[in-house]
Structure 1
Amino acid sequence: MSIRPEVPERRLTVDDLENTPDDGRRYELVDGRLDVSPAPKPLHTRVSYRLGFHLGNHAPHDLEIGEGPGIILDGDPGRHRIPDLAVFDQEPPEEGYYTVPPLLAVEVVSPESVLRDNHTKRHEYAAFGISAYWIINPHPEKPGIVEFRLEDGVYQEIGQRQGEELFETDFPFPVKLVPHWLVASGPWREHIGGTPATK
């Protein structure tokens, strides 16, 4: 009696993503394997929208703020990631996905993405040469942001702020941000960049 050897599954590429269902889930590729995330919950989308809005108000005109942009890592069509937000110093591609590192990638952590955002993507983004990486924890009671900068191919933590503390950075452009107003109800547009006392 002979046993048929198992045939390994074919390595997937971004071309295969054209056939994924339009169901709100996020379909990424890790070394040719599908990595599927559930559709973001309302708090996640609130944080992503508010941050994108705030960054867009402060970004120089020659920078592009991308919400959920597809990025092919290292020119390998089997390695495809979709950060929640990214800042690019070039125009979007006319077709397909970005193939160059953004200046900044941002991930908003979900319960199922803690390991992925804090470890897997952190290493992938560093290896790809993304200069800055922000991880945002949208916890309703104490939201926070951690900023990393790429140094010698490895991310180093630059700083972190929580709640009503003022986050400030000069890269990829100068911006101030109060994590509390990424999640809180109320006049967030007026206060997300800091109140007059903290500006």
Structure 2
Amino acid sequence: MTLAERKRQLVRDELTEAALKLLASQGFEETTIDQIVAAAGVSRRTFFRYFRSKEDVIIEFLGHLGTKLRDALAARPAAETPARALREAFAVFTDTYHHNPEKSIRLARLTLGSPALMARYLERQTQWRADAGAELARRMKVDPATDLRPRLTAAVGFAAFDTALTCWVDGDGDQDLNTWLDKAFRIVFGETGL
């Protein structure tokens, strides 16, 4: 990373952290961009250089994970079932949450509890599901236009992830997210599907 890139990342991180603290204490709707920039010690103009909206501060945290999920899915061994490959690829999400559990649980709680953030999350997830479905079709050597299995597997996998995430948040992270996700995948895909 160049010095300029490190500086940009530092400003982005400061904005994200300031926003998280405010949003966690005040709530999403009650927090303004002016409050976020004041807490981060930057101008509104600087804020808009990094983010388009207040929602983007939160959703940006997850933005790169869709590409990583697709790449992780493509790298899974060919012998794995589609469901097992998808479950293992979800490690890009669970590892991110596991790396910083306090921040992650605050982010997840905010996202799940705010209609505006949930809408942005689901908007992103639509693309992630499509990418995962396309990769599963490639792995399965089927045409996704005529075979429902790849897209359906991706959709069910994301539903399992969302359910596991909700349980993890509801339990304040007492049980590991991977444990919740394993349970969810076993319920929907069964032991033999994994």
Normalising by structure 1, report the TM-score: 0.27
What TM-score, normalized by structure 2, do the two folds share? 0.27
More helix by share: 2
More strand by share: 1
